[in-house]
Amino acid sequence: MSRDQIVSLAGDVVDAARRLLGCYLVRTIDGRRLVGKIVETEAYHQTDAASHSYRGKTPRTEVMFGPSGRAYVYFTYGRHYCMNVVTGPEGEGSAVLIRALEPIEGQELMRLNRAGFLDRELANGPAKLCQALQINAQYNGHNLSELPLQLAINSPINPTDIIATTRVGIRRDRERLWRFYIRGSDYISRP
């Protein structure tokens, strides 16, 4: 991902969540490439009560406030990591949760990382994709234009192929249609 592509994410978080669909997340481990196409996202913004940034900047959420194009990786439920792409202008707390990937390359290593799950189940959830690609807290704040974890911006998905719905597993601001996925994908976390 180039600096210009990072700047393209520095707008509205909902637009960025749609724009990230079809892009690739590329992880390099010991010279091996693991690639997944982003098929499901969720938007989070500081004005949204479901967002980690809702109560302002804290040591945990500092990364969410910019610059854009960084990874915001957090630990949840005492056992799982989840990865977001920071968006929006610097100083504004916003990020897009990467909810699901379609494995494109490196499935054999992803299967090992996920204890032998089938391809459809390798990365069909935010914690699962972090397990499959070995993404953990060391990547919090990582610049996604650099190895070993990169974002490759691809051509935008046709808007008619994007489904918008409510987000998964939140208690506040549940009515926002800020979850997006590619119509017909077999790799989303849930229909």
- Cis-peptide, bond into residue 67, ω within 30° of zero: yes
Task: Say yes or no to pLDDT of 184 above 60.
Answer: yes
Query: Tokens 């119509």 — which residue?
Result: 183
Q: How far apart are CA 163 and CA 112, in angstroms?
A: 31
Tell me what the mean pLDDT of segment 138-152 comes to.
96
- How many CB atoms neighbour CB 48 within 10 A? 20
Q: What is the pLDDT of residues 49-77, one digit of tens each?
A: 888 888 989 999 999 998 999 999 999 87
Tell me what the mean pLDDT of segment 98-120 comes to.
93
Tell me what the mean pLDDT of segment 129-148 comes to.
97
Task: Say yes or no to pLDDT of 169 above 90.
Answer: no
Q: Can you give the pLDDT at residue 180?
A: 98
Residue 157's alpha-carbon distances to 55, 103, 120, 182, 183, in angstroms, are: 33, 17, 21, 8, 10
Average of per-residue pLDDT values in the chain: 92
> In this prediction, what percent of the chain has a pLDDT beyond 70?
95
Q: Can you give the pLDDT at residue 11?
A: 81
Q: How far apart are CA 56 and CA 107, in angstroms?
A: 39
Task: Say yes or no to pLDDT of 172 above 60.
Answer: yes
Q: Can you give the pLDDT at residue 127?
A: 96
Q: How far apart are CA 112 and CA 12, in angstroms?
A: 37
Q: How far apart are CA 75 and CA 98, in angstroms?
A: 14
Q: Can you give the pLDDT at residue 6?
A: 55
Task: Say yes or no to pLDDT of 166 above 80.
Answer: yes
